[in-house]
Structure 1
Amino acid sequence: MSELYVLKYVSPIGEIEIQGTNEAVYSIMFSNRNELLTRAIEEVPIQVLAECAIQLDEYFKGERFEFTFPYAFEGTDFQQKVWNALVSVGYGKTTAYKDIALAIGNEKAIRAVGSANGKNKLSIVIPCHRIIGSNQKLTGYAGGLWRKEWLLQHEKRCLRP
């Protein structure tokens, strides 16, 4: 893999650390740091990371519903199947872990789907925040349940005409 670069992006719900190479973004994770940062999109020499930050900015402004910058994920074949299925969950929609298990052809893998979901390093872009329990309740999210709830509410607000 090429040299890995990092860009800090300040979102409405906290700092996000974007990691990637000249070719693709590999990680978009919430940071729990409480540092006050300024946006530095113009100062980032890596175009892929800058484009990711621009698209995240558009997402948070309610102007973007899909992401088009190059990204890549590394994981087992099973994890990659799960992550590819997550991308099919539409903006502002939710689905259950069980539905993802069915979508990948392994209806008994509900817990494994949950585990793969938790290992997703491309927050928001691979929309693991849209996956909920079969009882329609919010369940685990690496960024914290409050962020998961915020993201879901944000998407619903942005879909309203």
Structure 2
Amino acid sequence: MAVEDNTPSTPPSPEPFDATPTQTTSRPAVITPSSPAGRLRGGGDSKLKRSDFGAIIGHYSSTAAAAKAWADFKNQNAERMRDLRPLLMERNTPQGGIALMVGPFANAADAAVACLHLLDVTELCHPALFAGDPLVTAAEFRDTAF
């Protein structure tokens, strides 16, 4: 005949929570452009062959302000920027101004991931179509005078 033990057992005490980050390195994530995944198909004479995406990293009052911001951003984040190209896009909002965008990325998901990493160093970042005018810097005009 078996005897049941009805003595309440004490639950094991939980292990203390370790709030130490598990990341062993403080190096920032490297952000690189991604190649387009394909071409758009369709009839007609559309000049649009594919969609590239970018990450808008700031809004500025002028092209000069955006160029200065890009130079500062690129110098301060050289270790995380690889072959990203800046574009300037006029904002069609009542405030106007210029949006500074980096890219290109093959899709919106890649641009969104880039933004997640860039939010460590910029207050604004969101994916958008990679369209606009190339940012022309003084370094590209070495042999000319202004």
- Normalised by the length of structure 2, the TM-score is 0.23
Greater relative CO, 1 or 2 (CA 8 Å, sep 6+) = 2
Higher percent of residues as helix? 1
Larger CA Rg, structure 1 vs 2: 2
